[in-house]
Amino acid sequence: MEPVDSIRVGNTLGEGVLWDGETQTLWWTDIHERKLFRHDYRARRMETIATQERLCSFGFVRDSGKLIAAFESGLALYDPASGAVEWLARPESRTGIRFNDGRVDRQGRFWAGTMMEADVSQGSANLYSFAGDGTLQTKETGITISNGICWSPDSTRFYFSDSPLRTILVYDFDLPSGVISNKRVFARTPEGAYPDGANVDEEGFLWSAHWGAGQVVRYAPDGTVDRTIDVPASQPTCIAFGGPGLDLLFVTSARDGLKADALLRHPSAGDVFIYRVGIRGLPDPRFAAPV
């Protein structure tokens, strides 16, 4: 399947892509370049916003133009219009560790995990959830690179990946309490394919970007591969369903770490690729901010 369109941005590390159905805009971040992108798909107009720290992931906030943000050093409410940052929690203070993937659940909590940058052989990062009442909970420990946070349409399943292990995990999930349990393997990826950002469509199938393999893979609820999309970049990073009908698949990618010969083979690395997949996604929930 070929992309029907692309957004040519050449991101160093494009990530965290989300579709805002209220404004019909696509948002994503270039982590290493400290830039947030807001793209009006219909008008084909893009705004680039500089951030004071690396913005690693984010979610939309109910009844607000702010974002719930996982910056490299902690969680904050962030106003893209003014640049104001209201710090909410900074649970990690160790050198060589930063926040990474994050997503809002249907109860309005923001889930975000950290990752090891200095020594990826040491799995001592964590997964957190943050609620609007200010409650921060540690959900998992012993992680190397947190990725792939998402939930089944009925919120009874929670998906999560520790990328270097090439394993997608699934847990039982209790939506009211946010308790995860019964951890088990959902799928294992091939050699050289590292599960990165993910989301679930309205049929309950999981879509996972495979860093290093140049693919987005759709998994059935039983963990078997349903279909594979080849991406014109070796390092796809995250996916989002968007467009007026939520039937477009947006895929961010990265140029980070690619040598000159790899960039010659994949000159579109770092762009956002758009596919019409014939399947609808689900609206992303919004964070219930403190009042």
* Total domain count, the chain: 1
Decide if 289 is inside a domain: no
Evaluate if residue 291 carries a pLDDT over 60: no
Decide if 188 is inside a domain: yes
- Residue 27 confidence (pLDDT): 98
Of 57, 157, 60, nearest in space to 114 by CA: 57
| 81's tokens | 């219009």
Decide if 288 is inside a domain: no
The predicted model scores a pTM of 0.96
Please give the average per-residue pLDDT across 103-119, as a whole number.
94
Question: Mind listing the pLDDT tens digit for each residue in 135-164?
Answer: 999 999 999 999 999 999 999 999 999 999
How deeply is 154 buried, as exposed, middle or buried, from its count of CB atoms within 10 A (0-12, 13-18, 19+)? exposed
Q: Whole-angstrom Cα distance, residue 143 to residue 279?
A: 32
Evaluate if residue 26 carries a pLDDT over 80: yes
Decide if 284 is inside a domain: no
Please give the average per-residue pLDDT across 114-142, as a whole number.
91
Percent of the chain at pLDDT above 90?
90
Residue 211: give its domain's CATH number.
2.120.10.30
- Residue 172 confidence (pLDDT): 98
Q: Helix, strand, coil proportions of the chain in percent (round to 5)? A: 5, 55, 45
Whole-number mean pLDDT of the chain? 96
Print the domain residue range for 161.
5-276
Q: Whole-angstrom Cα distance, residue 136 to residue 48?
A: 30
Q: What single letter denotes the amino acid at residue 277?
A: V
Decide if 283 is inside a domain: no
Residue 278 Cα distances to 73, 111, 114, angstroms: 39, 29, 34
Decide if 285 is inside a domain: no
Decide if 48 is inside a domain: yes
Question: Mind listing the pLDDT tens digit for each residue in 190-236?
Answer: 999 999 999 999 999 999 999 999 999 999 999 999 999 999 999 99
Decide if 255 is inside a domain: yes
- Residue 20 confidence (pLDDT): 97
Q: How confident is the model at residue 290 (pLDDT cuts 50, 70, 90)?
A: low
DSSP letter for 265, please: H
